[in-house]
Structure 1
């Protein structure tokens, strides 16, 4: 039996997702970026149904990414988000007793099961800026400012005498 191709193989799709709640809890904004193996990009910026907290927004965005990837024909997918909660729970590595979240997690896992191969990746927020911009755009919010690089520390040189 041949081994599965690696996640970054020529047949692999990539998706980035982010959710926003404004205020928190409040209206839901969902952002998804989908990249085909050939490099074609699709951006999705849409309002989520109802209201909820930021974790609900992230789970709705995750489900939306899976739905769009599957509809586009993806069967092998690298799925990336900056929500540790959504990535851990979607991958089945953690559980919650909160009924609203558990129901969303079940939906995410049902969509995830439709893929032949699925790799879950968490990234820091600054590495998920396009999906973040799309989730905020769905709510009519401006993009977050770019992260401040901070002051560079320089060594204080001195001579001892």
Structure 2
């Protein structure tokens, strides 16, 4: 069965500060959806990333998704939720437990780490939820002499 393909990201501005959540998910038939919302809580970047994952998983559950391939650019979230032997963040332990339980409630779900530059659309949605413009990368070239 083809999976729902998911990219999620959270943003804390400043860090710690207000939390924005963003996600892009594509159904097996190619239909795309986005999520962009501000969280009611303040927190750090890791909490923002975790809350973005939770909000996305809840939305996917409501939509009846069964098999998921989730991309996240936060290695701490991927390690903690994935069950790797990572040093736990005590303050966020209950949120990590909730994410693991929700992830395990799907038929199949794989959470994988990706580099930040491959998650730009979800990042832009998380920042937009806070009223912050998309990060712009300015490339400069130097001529060699």
| Shared fold, TM over 0.5 | yes
- Is residue 99 of structure 2 the alignment partner of residue 138 of structure 1? no
> How many corresponding residue pairs?
145
Q: Which structure has more helix as a fraction of its residues?
A: 2
| TM-score, with structure 2 as normaliser | 0.91
Is 1:53 the equivalent of 2:28? no
For structure 1, the 5+ residue unaligned runs are 1-8, 157-161
Alignment gaps of 5+ in structure 2: none
SS in 1 for 2:64: coil
* Aligned-partner Cα distance in 2 for 1:45–1:124: 20
Query: What is the distance in 1 between the residues matched to 2:142 and 2:29?
Result: 39
Aligned-pair CA distance for 1:151: 4.1
Are positions 1:89 and 2:80 aligned together? yes
Counterparts of residues 59-78 of structure 1 (less than 5 Å) = 59-78=50-69
Would the aligned equivalents of 1:126 and 1:147 in 2 still touch at CA under 8 Å? no
C-alpha deviation, 1:99, in angstroms: 2.9
Confirm or deny: 8 A CA contact 2:3 2:67 kept in the other structure.
yes
RMSD in angstroms over aligned alpha carbons?
1.8
CA displacement, residues 65-117 of structure 1 (integer Å, 9 cap, x when unaligned)? 11111211111000001111111111111444433211110110011011111
